[in-house]
Amino acid sequence: MNSFFQDIIHNLIAFQQDKPLLFTHLFFWIFFSFVLFGYSFLYKFNKARTIYLLLVSFFFYYKTSGVFLLLLLFTICSDYIWGKCISSSKKIWKKKLFVAISVCLNLFLLGYFKYAYFFTESANQIFGTHIKFFNHFSHFSNSFFSTSFSVDKLILPVGISFFTFQSLSYIIDLYREKIKPVNNIFEYGFFVCFFPHLVAGPIVKAHEFLYQINLPYKLYRSEFGMAIFWVLNGLAKKVLADYIGVNFVDRIFENPNYYSGIEVVLGTLGYSLQIYADFSGYTDIAIGVALLLGFRLKTNFNSPYKAQSTSEFWQRWHISLSSWLKEYLYIPLGGNRQGSLASYLCITLIGSVFILLSGALWLFWLIPAVGFVFGVLMYFFASFKKTIHTNINIMITMLLGGLWHGSSWLFMIWGGLNGLGLVIHKLWQKIVPNNRSENPAVKFFWMLLTLLFISFTRIWFRSDDLETVANLFDRIQNHLGLYLTLKIMASYQKVLWVIAGGYFIHWLPERFKNMYRTWFSKSPIPVLSMAVVLLVFLLYQAMSADMQPFIYFQF
């Protein structure tokens, strides 16, 4: 009997790599129930609740990532110290120095854990060397914590891209004097690792969140109902995403040669809905859970497939990342006014990544040659120079956004195509100003065109390698199989109806969505309770045997 209870306690407390703490697992909601119970005694005392939620967040991240909690702790301690140095310094050059040190440390850690293996392999390919990759962090973990990580592989800490960007926002906002320094390291740690948004966003900027830490707890009755709505809405989206992925999308992208071109097209549109439902489902749950604890996170998705242009799409999709890149990268580089020295340094960096990705030494000569030609054209042709200057930062932002997702040609191409789409739309606006129409048919045409373009770029985002991309396009170009359309629709009628229903709900007018959200949030507690029980029962029936990890956990 003692052994039985010891096993239960071990499973509850110990990190299990194959069982991360996910919003879709029953254990999370048991965990959250205990969190709320403890919180009910502390919520009126700001310092106590901050420390309590900080410890809860550490446990949450430990259950999700194990020993990588040390990396999170290092980021918190390091940037708290650099933040203190920035706020206490009187001379601007010292402030800039401390900002530079913090940014370099954060980017070094992010770069090591996301790109070190890639750089080693690329260098071997270019220079014909045989350097073996050695994971120093895994070796350290194995030596001191008896883990069994492979030292010749790189393991990506869950959420590193998210909490690194959040920590950087504090350092930069502090330097810009948009915020005051936090009172203590507990507040800073809580800001960085508040568990609802820790591993997959939304990315929280310092000037949008820190002030909430010292506000008294407040949760209106309608907000409580809305929090429950967002949690249930997110869970429903996740079930929808998994159903589409397991029963349709994953099969096509894993073995494209087994499917016709029309199936590939439908699968690509299905993936656009899948990744939206998966990612926005996570952030819906995060927003709801945070709201129950008295903290307001900003909307991360605003019906992105209602967008009528690529520019509008990126104002509606992953808003926290888009706005972070705009505020801390795009505008500092010069925005749409002109390219800066930093812009061309970024282009040099991206060019170097191109060389490493290709593994081709001859690109060392080609890329500088192309840069020289562009420089000559910009010198002699003012209009060409203006076009480059006003669009270069868009391309840089989207290319670096692609690299943020991972070190491969696939993400670079995906980012570049989206950057190109933004540039083309910007030029189109100059040619045809005020081209917005209130005609429903015209609006639907532009909305559908934008969705098709975004889905087209996601072929690179979703594929495992360039060979898969080539096979997918081969099926579309040479094996479209339009004559099979009715047969395909009959064979996949259940999942296609689910996809169609998902898009239909997505395209519902916002006023209608606000109406049923408000009705739900203001319903009496017994009605809310019945709705929760009924929806949880239905979701349990619809769930796949093993819920899939959220897609953005890999970034």
Who's near 19: CB < 8 A, 6+ residues apart? Answer: 25
57-69: buried (b, 16+ CB within 10 Å) or exposed (e) per residue?
A: bbbbbbbbbbbbb
Ranges of H-type helices in 128-249: 136-145, 160-175, 185-193, 206-209, 221-244
> Count of CB atoms within 10 A of residue 76's CB?
22
CB 393 within 8 A of CB 336: yes
Query: Between the CA of residue 61 and those of 57, 158, 200, 237, what are the distances in Å?
Result: 6, 9, 12, 23
The dihedrals phi and psi of 286, each to the nearest 5 degrees, come to: -60, -45
User: Distance between CA 308 and CA 407 in Å, rounded?
Assistant: 30
Mapped to the 3 state alphabet, what secondary structure does 110-141 carry?
HHHHHHHHHHHHHHHHHHCCCCCCCCHHHHHH
Looking at 25, 389, 405, 425, which residue is catalytic?
Answer: 405
CB half-sphere exposure, 220, CA atoms < 13 A: 6
DSSP label at residue 178: S
- Find the angle CA(141)-CA(147)-CA(150) to the nearest 5 degrees: 80
DSSP label at residue 16: -
User: Known catalytic residue: 389?
Assistant: no
> Count of CB atoms within 10 A of residue 328's CB?
18
User: Distance between CA 290 and CA 194 in Å, rounded?
Assistant: 9
DSSP label at residue 546: S
Please give the positions annotated as active site: 405
